[in-house]
Amino acid sequence: MPFVNRRCARPGCGRPATATLSYVYAQRTVWLDDLRAEDSPANHDLCGHHGDRTNAPRGWELRDRRSVGPVHQLRYAG
Ligand SMILES: [Zn+2]
């Protein structure tokens, strides 16, 4: 696993990305995975904080496949 140095895609965040968000339109499913090595314009990299706060659009399903799960021990104001 090569070292991946990308940042969270949320404006004004800048934390290191730990998860990759991808939208599968045919299945109306949002996948939240561990950060992928390849950088694709179709994916969105997120930090753990914003990964936990991600919600699926109306009528879509969010599936969290991250190995670490939600980051319960870390809470940030705002
Ligand atoms: Zn973030």
Is residue 25 a part of any domain in this protein?
Answer: yes
Residue in 42, 47, 51, 40 with CA at minimum distance from that of residue 17: 47
Q: CB–CB of 78/47 below 8 Å? A: no
| Ion ligand 1 contact residues with beta carbon within 5 A | 8, 10, 13, 15, 47, 50
Domain span at 44: 19-64
Is residue 3 a part of any domain in this protein?
Answer: no
Is residue 69 a part of any domain in this protein?
Answer: no
- How many angstroms separate the alpha carbon of residue 17 from the centre of ligand 1? 7
Q: What is the pLDDT of residues 2-36, one digit of tens each?
A: 556 899 999 999 999 999 999 999 999 999 999 99
- How many angstroms separate the alpha carbon of residue 18 from the centre of ligand 1? 9
Q: How many domains does the chain have?
A: 1
Is residue 9 a part of any domain in this protein?
Answer: no
Residue in 16, 78, 6, 69 with CA at minimum distance from that of residue 47: 16
- How many angstroms separate the alpha carbon of residue 52 from the centre of ligand 1? 10
Confidence band of 78 (pLDDT split at 50, 70, 90):
very low
Q: What's the pTM?
A: 0.76
Q: What is the pLDDT of residues 36-57, one digit of tens each?
A: 988 788 899 999 999 999 999 9
Is residue 52 a part of any domain in this protein?
Answer: yes
Is residue 32 a part of any domain in this protein?
Answer: yes
Is residue 33 a part of any domain in this protein?
Answer: yes
Q: What is the pLDDT of residue 2?
A: 52
Is residue 12 a part of any domain in this protein?
Answer: no
